[in-house]
Structures are given as C-alpha cells and as structure tokens.
Amino acid sequence: MSYGLVGEKLGHSYSKTIHEALGRYDYQLFEVAREDFDSFIIRRNFRGLNITIPYKQQVMPLLDEICPKAKAIGAVNTVVNQNGKLFGYNTDFDGMKALIHGVGLDLRGKDVLILGSGGTAKTAKAVADSLGAYSVTIVSRTVKTGAITYEQAASDYRRSQIIINTTPMGMFPNLGQSPIDLAPFNWLEGVVDAIYNPLRTPLVLSAQERNAKASGGLLMLVAQAVKAAELFLGEPMDEKLITRIHQELLNQKENIVLIGMPGSGKSTVGRMIRDAMGRPFVDVDGYIKQKAGMEISDIFRTQGEEGFRRLEFEAVKELSLRSGLIIATGGGTVLRDENVLSLKQSGRLYFLNRPPQNIVPTRDRPLADTKEKIMNLYKQRAPVYWAAADVVIHQQNGFQSAAQTIIDRISS
C-alpha cells in the first residue's frame, strides 16, 4: 500500500475523497482495532499515513523521529515513511489555524475554552496560544490536571469569547448531541468545531442562532490534508487547492432541502434538480408512505396528524444521516424545531415561496384540499418558512426557473 488514513471507525470519513481530489496518489481507509494498532504501524507497510481518533498519541512511541511542533503539542496526525524510518508531524495545527481564520475569528486578547482533552484539544490549545489568546482553558468531563469541568465553564468562565470543540459529541451517526449549552455565554463571539460530519453540529447551529461566527471542521479537514500531502510528496502544494477542494466537497456533501407550502412544487423542482445534477432525490412524504405502507391521507385518517408527525420526525432524522441528497419536505415538516435542526446539520434549506393564490388544492393533501385552507395555512406558516430558510426562492417564473436558480447558487 502507499497512503491512507488509520483510525478505529472511519465510516464517516471524507479523507479519501479529499486526497483523491489532489490526483497525485492512491489513498485508502484502514479501520484498525486498538489491540492491532501497534503492529500495524510497526510493519511499516506504507509510504505515508494520516492518524485519527483514537491514535494520535498512541502512535508517538512507535516513531523514529517527531517534529518539534508535534512533540510540543503531544499529538501526531501524519506519519511519513522515509527509507524505513518513521517521521511524525502534526498538520492538524495548520488545519485548525486555517479554520479559525476561515471563520473570521481574531483570538488576540480573547478568553478561549477548548472542549475535550485529547490530541485535537492539545492542537487547538497550541493554535490558540500561537494566535495570541489571552487565556486558554481546557474543559473535560473527567478530572484532569489543568482542566476544568463543564459546570465550572458555565459558571466561572461565562465571559469566554471563543469556544473550540474537539470532542466527538454530535458527530455522525450520533446527530443531535451538543457538548455544552451556550446560553450562559453572553460574551460569545465565535465557535469552531473540529467535527465535519455533519457539516454543522447542534453546537455550531446554536452559535449561529446567537449571531456568533461559527463553523464545522470541513475546512480544517481539507487544510490539514493538503499539508499532509506536502509531507507525503516532499513538495509544496498550491494554497488555492484548499479553497477549491473545500467548496467542491461542501457542494457535494450538503443536502439540498426544499421547504414550503403543500403544492408549492417542492417535488417537481427537486426532480428537475436531480435530472440536471444527477443527485439522489427523496420526497419525505413518499418516504413516509413507503415505510408506513399506506397513503398520507390514510395515515391522517387512522393515526391523526399527531401520528403522521411522529412518522415524519423519524423520516427526517433518518434522511439527515445521509449526505448529497435532494430532499423535498412536507409542507409542515419545518413546524417542528427538531426537524429543522436535523435538516440544517447537513443541509441548506431553500424556501420555495410560491404565491398561495397559485397553489392548486388537491384531495391527497388533507390540510390543503381547498383554496380557503391554503390561504389560511400560508398566513400561519409563511413566517416559519422564512425563519427556517437559508435561502428564499421567489417562484414568480415557474418551477424550471426555481430549479435553475438553486443549481446556479450551488455551482457558483
């Protein structure tokens, strides 16, 4: 073998996609159990490796030489085999630094909280120190020297302006979890999360709701990979590659989520985007019908709206675990906050704002089967759609125009 990523569980990893986008070498994923890790490294049957959870510290005693930066941090995420000798590096430092700058945060003179105490936390502390942070405090769920508890963070460090998450809380497939409640942090300016799958964790979304600058770790992943490639190949890479690959990967992985009134054309527009882009399309109502084995109208008749909403919640949760989809939601899907949270973690929400007078009532939509119901429903729901939407598409020129507008936004 030549190059690859070593970790315990890699089902969520985007590293292969990134390295192959560089087009310079073959790159594989290697899931290795903890008891087998040492022997895997000792065999030295590779030219270069990236190291991820939980091996960034375990690998260090197995190396011949470690660069000063990685040694000072106490974690290695890149190993290069040079004529049988193993050299360790830390390109996570470069990735974390790129992420902080990409979010637009200035750490000079700021109080920084770092959630977690593993290898990535050590890297984050080194980066924060290098960027001139006034104080850097590690927050841990277990008692560790030099760390505080989450309870202490919420009570005694509530004036912290920057929070960096290095824990796996909220990472695929355990979506919906957050390591800390941001409510006490009234001075918060920004949050960066090393998690990249999903694209936006609940922690990131919570920060954005509070008008703080926030981002998931996709840019960090790309930047550290490009730096690792420089070490693999022994030559500098064009810095523009980081921006290009990051945007391409974001466009590829982010779900296109269509929201709006019943009859606003979500399914029609979704299929048009599918045909143009070749991406998988899922209609939430169709997904529910398939799983329930009955029509939506029959679900309402036998289980009521409450029963339907339970099925819808489960469907949204399942679909949100996937990436690269076009998802047409039901008219009432975003009425439930939990659904919006699930959809936003790996998706961008497009509100198809079709004038209600142009929506045709149909018998298979129990809540919109008359003109009067449609007009009343629009008055009730329009503010919810506007609040949930990342992008509003005003449907004045038909479905094809709406589909093309979305395609152009993604492709630009």
pLDDT digits (tens, 9 = 90+) for 245-274: 999 999 999 999 999 998 889 999 999 999
Instruction: Please determine, for residue 342, whether its predicted confidence score (pLDDT) is greater than 80.
Output: yes
Residue 200: predicted pLDDT: 96
pLDDT of 96-112, one tens digit each? 999 999 999 999 999 99
- Residue 371 is predicted with a pLDDT of 76
* Percent of the chain with pLDDT strictly greater than 70: 98
Q: What does the chain come to in residues? A: 412
Cβ atoms of 207 and 227 within 8 Å: the answer is: no
Q: Identify residue 308 by its one-letter amino acid code.
A: F
pLDDT at 358 > cutoff 90:
no
| CA–CA gap between residue 134 and residue 217 (Å, rounded) | 23
| pLDDT for the residue numbered 144 | 75
Distance CA 405, CA 412 (A): 11
pLDDT category of residue 49 using cuts at 50, 70 and 90 = very high
Look at residue 4 in the predicted model and tell me its pLDDT: 95
pLDDT at 166 over 90: yes
Q: Give Cβ neighbours of residue 145 (< 8 Å, ≥ 6 apart).
A: none
CA distance 129 to 122: 11
Judged against a pLDDT cut of 70, whether residue 368 lies above it is answered with no
Task: Look up the CATH architecture of domain 94-216.
Answer: 3-Layer(aba) Sandwich (3.40)
**Residue 106 buriedness (CB in 10 A; 0-12 / 13-18 / 19+):** middle
Asked whether the predicted pLDDT for residue 367 surpasses 70, the reply is: no
Tell me the C-alpha distance between 7 and 262, whole Å. 45
pLDDT at 193 over 90: yes
Burial of 70 (0-12, 13-18, 19+ CB in 10 A): buried
Of the CATH numbers 3.40.50.2300, 3.30.360.10, 3.40.50.300, 1.10.1040.50, which one belongs to the domain with range 254-411?
3.40.50.300
- For 69, the 3-state DSSP assignment is helix
Question: Where are any strands of DSSP class E within 149-217?
Answer: 162-165, 190-193, 213-215
Rg (alpha carbons) of the chain, rounded to whole number: 24
Name the band, by pLDDT with cuts 50, 70 and 90, for residue 366.
Answer: low
pLDDT band at residue 172, thresholds of 50, 70 and 90?
A: confident
Average pLDDT over residues 145-164: 95
Q: Give residue for tokens 């048009």.
A: 272
Annotated active-site positions, please? 56
* Domains 3-89+221-243 and 254-411 alike in fold: yes
pTM, two decimals, is: 0.89
* pLDDT reported for residue 365: 66
The pLDDT assigned to 145 comes to 76
Q: Could you say which DSSP state residue 333 is in?
A: G
Q: Which CATH superfamily is domain 3-89+221-243 in?
A: Leucine Dehydrogenase, chain A, domain 1 (3.40.50.10860)
Where does the pLDDT of residue 175 fall: very low under 50, low under 70, confident under 90, or very high at 90 and above?
confident
Pairwise CA distance, residues 76 & 87, whole Å? 10
Helix axis angle, 202-209 relative to 337-345, nearest 10°?
110
Distance of CA 59 to the CA centre of its chain: 27
Residue percentage of the chain with pLDDT more than 90: 82
- Hey, where are the domains in the chain? 3-89+221-243, 94-216, 254-411
Taking the C-alpha atoms of residue 172 and residue 122, their distance in angstroms, rounded to an integer, is 23
Taking 80 as the threshold, does the pLDDT of residue 207 lie above it? Answer: yes
- Beta strand 85-89 with 65-66 is parallel
Between 305 and 38, residue with greater pLDDT: 38
Examine the pLDDT at 364 and tell me if it is beyond 70.
Answer: no
Mean pLDDT on 272-284: 97
pLDDT band of 210, cuts 50, 70, 90: very high
The candidate with the shortest Cα–Cα distance to 180, out of 220, 221, 140, is 140
Mean pLDDT value across the chain: 93
Confidence of residue 83 (pLDDT cuts 50, 70, 90): very high
Residue 311 binned pLDDT confidence (cut-offs 50, 70, 90) = very high
Determine the pLDDT at residue 296. Answer: 86
